[in-house]
Amino acid sequence: MEKSEDVFSINEHEVMEFYGFEGEFGKIKLKIKMLRSWILHKWAYSSPLSNFVINLQKSRGVKIGKNCHISPYVLIDLVYPELIEIEDNVTIGSNAMIFAHINPTANLILKKTHYPRKVGKVTIKSGAVINPGAIITAGITIGKNAIVSIGSAVFEDIPDNCVVLGNPARVIKKLDFEKK
Convert the pLDDT of each residue in 87-134 to its tens digit: 999 999 999 999 999 887 777 788 788 888 889 999 999 999 999 999
Using CA atoms, how far residue 164 sits from 126, 141, 172, in Å, is 16, 13, 6
Kindly state the percentage of the chain with pLDDT values over 90: 80
CA distance 31 to 18: 14
Q: Is the CB of residue 55 less than 8 Å from the CB of residue 74?
A: no
Instruction: Report the pLDDT averaged over residues 42-55.
Output: 96
| pLDDT surpassing 90 at residue 59 | yes
CA distance 78 to 61: 10
Q: Is the CB of residue 177 less than 8 Å from the CB of residue 162?
A: no
| pLDDT surpassing 80 at residue 3 | no
pTM, entire model? 0.90
Give the domain 3-174 fold.
UDP N-Acetylglucosamine Acyltransferase; domain 1 (2.160.10)
Q: Where are the domains of the chain?
A: 3-174
Residue 163's SS3 state is strand
The reported pLDDT for the residue numbered 180 is: 57
Give 3-state DSSP helix, strand, coil % of the chain, rounded to 5. Answer: 30, 20, 45
The reported pLDDT for the residue numbered 165 is: 97
Q: Is the CB of residue 30 less than 8 Å from the CB of residue 16?
A: yes
